[in-house]
Homo-oligomer: A and B are copies of this chain.
Amino acid sequence: MRSIINPSKNRFKVLLERSLRKTHSINIMCNCEVEYKGRAVSHLKMGDRVVLIKPDKTVIVHQPSGRNPVNWMPAQAHIKLEESTLKIESVNPREFMKIKFNHVHVFSSSPLKDAATLKQVGSEADMAKMIYDNPRLIGEFVPASMEEQTTYGFIDVFGRDYNNNLIIIECKRYKAGLDAVQQLRRYVEKIKKDKSKEIVTGIIAAPKITSNAKKMLEDWNFKFVKIEPPMYLVPDKELQKRLEEYET
């Protein structure tokens, strides 16, 4: 575990090499320039950033605002330190990134251990399962299978109405757009053709749908069923109260 403020260039190099060798997680607050070439080409001029290097060799560069990194390299890249100019170069078969450090404000590293995995509820798959287990949510629906395979994609929930006509349900955890309707349409057409059925009902199950998607849905005689994903927390009284407490 190490943390150094304003290390000299030599010192920084030694620290970085040691931390990489020990596969520590590394955080560098610095002024730097970044160059990327591979799936696109980019250049980022001088500025202060946070550079994160993980034991798996993931490199992530964050500017002081925003949720997403401005530059990065995926895991398994090869990291090389350039002797003279205080650069690191991360390379994999299809791309590379160079970081040129002008000044290191803070260097810190630590041998982080983490065996935990995120437990999460509220995904589209959870939604599909909820519908499968509670077909009444859809109405006249007898579920048959989940994750039905088509060469044109996976059908979320598959079943029949009480007249034995096929029903295909596409779930969206938030708001269904044109792409969702197109997806559904692809499945419906594929199934109609493969199983030689005349009547196949397409249903979008989502908490919301965009205006245009609704229009397209109607053009194609599909249906929209408003369903909230399980555990989806809508802005509610409790949260509002909590917020008000903090707005002081």
Which residues of chain A have a CB within 8 Å of any CB of chain B? 1-6, 25, 27, 29, 37-50, 52, 54-56, 58, 60, 62-67, 70-72, 74-75, 78, 80, 91, 93-96, 105-106, 108, 110, 112-123, 151-153, 173-174, 178-179, 182-183, 185-186, 212, 216, 229, 231-235, 239-240, 242-243, 246-247
Contact = CB atoms under 8 A, between A and B. Distances in A.
A70 B246 contact: no
DSSP majority for the A interface?
mixed
User: Which interface residue of A45, A74, A173 has the most chain B CB atoms within 10 A?
Assistant: A45
Contacts of A27: 27, 29, 50, 106, 108
A96 B3 contact: no
Contacts of A60: 62, 67
Contact of A3 (B4, B78, B234, B243): B4
A243 B93 contact: yes
Given A62-B54, A112-B48, A122-B39, A246 B91 contact: yes
